[in-house]
Amino acid sequence: MKCSDFLKELTDYLDNDMDSRSRSELEEHLRWCHNCYVVCNTTKSTIEIYRGSELYELPEELRGRLQAAILSRCKCQHSATAAPAMDPDPAIDPAIDHSKKPSQP
């Protein structure tokens, strides 16, 4: 097996998405090819570091505001659907709804 063949299979190997025979062939290659062993090991570490990184966690305070804004917009939508003759309720939190521009006079 060539190193390029090993690399093509790396994702399936790391995800354990292959039959045992193919897996054994890749592991045989790993036994003697130090470069592929290092690439495989460090790619696995890359995934684990990102998975455990808690990058971009949603702060509780912002979470509360977002939930309130979402539910307010859903309720508004619900009332508009239930009573289409009525004017829609404009009670949307403008402080958090960046997509809504202030209404012009």
Interface ranges with another protein (CB under 8 A): 7-8, 10-17, 27, 30, 35, 38-51, 53-58, 62-63, 66-67, 69-71, 73-75, 77-78, 82, 96-99
- In the complex with another protein, which residue's Cβ is closer, 66 or 91? 66
For the bound state, the minimum distance from the C-beta of residue 69 to another protein, rounded and expressed in Å, comes to 6
Closest CA to 74 of 58, 52, 97, 51: 97
Closest CA to 12 of 23, 1, 2, 3: 23
- In the complex with another protein, which residue's Cβ is closer, 51 or 87? 51
Closest CA to 93 of 73, 78, 79, 75: 73
